[in-house]
Structure 1
Amino acid sequence: MVKGAAYLILALLILGAVAFALLSERARGLAAVDRRLAGLSAPGTAPARAAAAISVPERIAPLLAQAQLEVTVQTVRILAAAGFALVLAVLLAAGPALALAVLLGLPMAALSWLRGRARKRVDALTEALPLYLDGVRQLQAVGNSLSQALSRALADASPVVRSFFDTAARRLEMGAPVAETMQQLADRLQVPEVSMIAAAIRTNLRYGGSIGAVFTNLAQILRERLRIRRELVAATSEARVSSRVLIAMPLLAMVGLVLMNPAYLDFFVKDPRGQSLSMMAIGLEAIGILIIRRMLRLEF
């Protein structure tokens, strides 16, 4: 049963790769037509050929924005080819059971890496935002408009703040509305702290008042959130270490058994019953990891 399911999934993977190649070829043809039309409309100028970004699911788009990664057709093509080659190599070397495990594990590993990168970037951003807001408030106090203060404060801000806010700053320099620009940034990132800034600016521009006092209070709120978050991390450090030990114990036990008795894996690799048990063990381990990570997720 496991072997049949593995071959079926691999067949679907091959069909998906062929369909993706055909769609990519069609997209390249349309892009070539667009470049030719652009050249005819503006003779004497050669349009630059840039990597076109592709649409991604709505649940993945905020993670990519937080991790500051852009998925292009070329990137997807390279990753798909590498993943297909790896799955095919495992299929030929170890059989369909391990190939199926690799096929299911690669997306989970990629998603875990993406979430880790996004979390690190967002944590660095939230730690630097209070100082950025202080800079915006000081620049506005000496006579700069709100859009000018938001743009000019980036010069002295942390590099991570500049990397996230550069696009919004360019839009502001071109005359885009402040509230709309900050709201677009908040919608794209979906970071609570950035959403708070956008909501504060939008409310102040609509109802009036001192934006400097709003930024002062907001910076204080963000610092208080950082303090509470550090306390929560310190309070749950023992539970997080225990969770890592629980996750690593089955893997370490398996490695120890293999080192003591290399033939121990033959049953799980060659025998159909062992393959079924291997898939069940891998599935239960993955479910346990997800449950533990969900239990330790800090949201406030």
Structure 2
Amino acid sequence: MALLGLRIRRRRKKFTNQLGDMLTMVANALRAGFSFMQAFELIAREMDAPMGREVQLVVNEVNLGNTLESALDNMQRRVASPDFELVVTAVLIQRQVGGDLASILDTISETIAERVRMRREVMALTAQGRASAMVVGLVPVALAGAMSIFNPNYLKPLIETDMGRMFVLGAIILELIGILIIRRIVDIKP
């Protein structure tokens, strides 16, 4: 289950990183005289997964008779990206009201690029705190492992007595609390 969650997070991150390029390509295609669907067909052919695959699914849905609005909503549900939700909202409003979609997409692309840059900056600034959380969690375990190898009798009172087991349980609980506090401190939402 954890592996699946990791793969989902990586896919979402890759999708978000590709979103700015996709919006720029769509805006340029619209300026060149392509329709929105022709621009999406271009994206489906030219971009790598996951963006290319998701856009291809939208093109396929529209070709099978689904509306563009419904196909974009389906894509938004699949990718679950707040950045893409902004794009879908802008496209749907533009289709109802009219206006220059290319310039709207350029503005959204710049906004998304700035958000990605800010996320990376936050990750760089909080790297020391995240490393501290790992050290807080791993040093006691590594130290206990080294002690049990070099002097096995040294830790026996912690394992064999009730009082020792209570101290070990207390240490584990305090370790977890320390890790959680450090993670909360460095978890900054840009």
Query: Is 1:141 equivalent to 2:31 in the alignment?
Result: yes
Aligned positions, number: 190
Per the TM alignment, residue 117 of structure 1 is displaced from its structure 2 partner at its CA by: 3.4
Q: Secondary structure at the match of 2:34?
A: coil
Q: How does 1:192-211 map to 2 (within 5 A)?
A: 192-211=82-101
Counterpart among 20, 30, 54 of residue 130 in structure 1: 20
Return the alpha-carbon distance in structure 2 between the equivalents of residues 138 and 175 of structure 1: 26
Alignment deviations for residues 21-41 of structure 1 (CA, whole Å, 9 cap, x no partner): xxxxxxxxxxxxxxxxxxxxx
Query: Is 1:238 equivalent to 2:139 in the alignment?
Result: no
Kept after mapping to 2: 8 A contact 1:132/1:154: no
Q: How does 1:249-260 map to 2 (within 5 A)?
A: 249-260=139-150
Per the TM alignment, residue 129 of structure 1 is displaced from its structure 2 partner at its CA by: 1.2
Q: Secondary structure at the match of 1:182?
A: helix
Kept after mapping to 2: 8 A contact 1:200/1:214: yes
Is the alpha carbon distance of 1:292 and 1:166 closer, same or farther for their aligned partners in structure 2, counting shifts above 3 Å? farther
Q: Secondary structure at the match of 2:50?
A: helix
Alignment deviations for residues 163-211 of structure 1 (CA, whole Å, 9 cap, x no partner): 4444333323323222222223223432221111112112212222111
Larger relative contact order, structure 1 or 2 (CA cutoff 8 Å, min sep 6): 2
Query: Is 1:191 equivalent to 2:81 in the alignment?
Result: yes
Alignment deviations for residues 224-264 of structure 1 (CA, whole Å, 9 cap, x no partner): 11222222222222222223222222222222222222245
Q: CA RMSD in A?
A: 2.7
Query: Is 1:213 equivalent to 2:123 in the alignment?
Result: no
Return the alpha-carbon distance in structure 1 between the equivalents of residues 166 and 58 of structure 2: 52
Identical positions, percent: 25
Kept after mapping to 2: 8 A contact 1:183/1:199: no
Normalising by structure 2, what TM-score?
A: 0.81
Counterpart among 138, 153, 172 of residue 248 in structure 1: 138
Which residue of the partner structure matches residue 71 of structure 2? 181
Q: Secondary structure at the match of 1:159?
A: coil
Which residue of the partner structure matches residue 99 of structure 1? none
Query: Is 1:151 equivalent to 2:41 in the alignment?
Result: yes
Is the alpha carbon distance of 1:211 and 1:234 closer, same or farther for their aligned partners in structure 2, counting shifts above 3 Å? same
Amino acid at match of 1:213: S
Kept after mapping to 1: 8 A contact 2:129/2:182: no
Return the alpha-carbon distance in structure 2 between the equivalents of residues 283 and 235 of structure 1: 28
Q: Secondary structure at the match of 2:41?
A: helix
Amino acid at match of 1:149: A
Kept after mapping to 2: 8 A contact 1:133/1:219: yes
Kept after mapping to 2: 8 A contact 1:243/1:292: yes
Return the alpha-carbon distance in structure 1 between the equivalents of residues 72 and 184 of structure 2: 31
Alignment deviations for residues 261-289 of structure 1 (CA, whole Å, 9 cap, x no partner): 22455555555554554444444433433
Runs of 4+ that moved beyond 6 A: none
Kept after mapping to 2: 8 A contact 1:179/1:205: no
